[in-house]
Amino acid sequence: MNSSYLIKYNIAARLAGLAIGFAFALLYAQHQIMTGDQWQMLHKGYLGAYQDTWLAFGNAASAVGNVPGSLSAWIVGGPLLFWDSPWSPMLVLIGLRILSYLMFDAVIKAVFSQQVRLLFMVAYWLNPWLLYDSQLYNPAYLCFFTALHFWSAFKLRDKPSFTFSFLHVLAIGGAMQLHYSWPVLAVISCCLLYRRMSHPNWWGVITAGLVILASLIPYFQAYTASDELSRESDRYIG
């Protein structure tokens, strides 16, 4: 079996896998069970799109209060400004998950064989858990920011880059505005830096940090004005 045939076979298999995964994602999205988490996302999105009120905080976590920032409102309400249908933020979510696969695949391609790329597609993109999670639920967006973090870290392994350093830190900030597990990404970045496996451009890091802080100013204002955004808990963030 010659190499050109293998390349054509792998391309066809990956395209078919992407199509199958996309079809299943639509199927799961159509039949998602609406619970409190989904209604929270839709409420913030429609409040922004219909009344131009973009809440400065995200979903209420189970124990430690609302996640900071207005990203949850914008990722739902932003698409509604272009198409007034719940399918608009749902399609954006599926699109972000496709991008997450492509970013992971770009790293797999640079390191492993074509066969491993196929195995990864099955293990990740066709994973029943990932497909089942095709719903308007804040942790469903984490795969995009995780992939962005991983891909940008891979780009920084040899030399500094303002763009990839900016995206790397922005990935941590984006995850922070969706779920309290974001410190995992920050710890990974610190470990890579400590082991000298990452070479960030510090201007990119600082710029991304300032952008994240600026996006959280409304949240800090709301936090000081309301005690409901935080709750005492014996659980730990992350």
Q: φ and ψ at 72, to 5 degrees? A: -60, -40
Mean pLDDT computed over every residue of the chain: 88
User: Which token pair is 71?
Assistant: 């990203």
Q: If pLDDT is split at 50, 70 and 90, which confidence band does 203 have? A: very high
The number of beta carbons lying within 10 Å of the beta carbon of residue 9 is 13
pLDDT over threshold 80, residue 132: yes
Q: Which pLDDT value is given to residue 30?
A: 92
pLDDT of residue 64: 66
- Average of per-residue pLDDT across 62-79: 85
Query: 230 or 155: which carries more pLDDT confidence?
Result: 155
State the pLDDT at residue 12.
Answer: 86
Measured CA angle at 80 (ends 100, 164), to 5 deg: 30
Per-residue pLDDT of 137-174, as tens digits, reads 889 999 999 999 999 999 999 999 999 999 999 999 99
Amino acid at position 208, single letter: A
Span 105-116, average pLDDT: 92
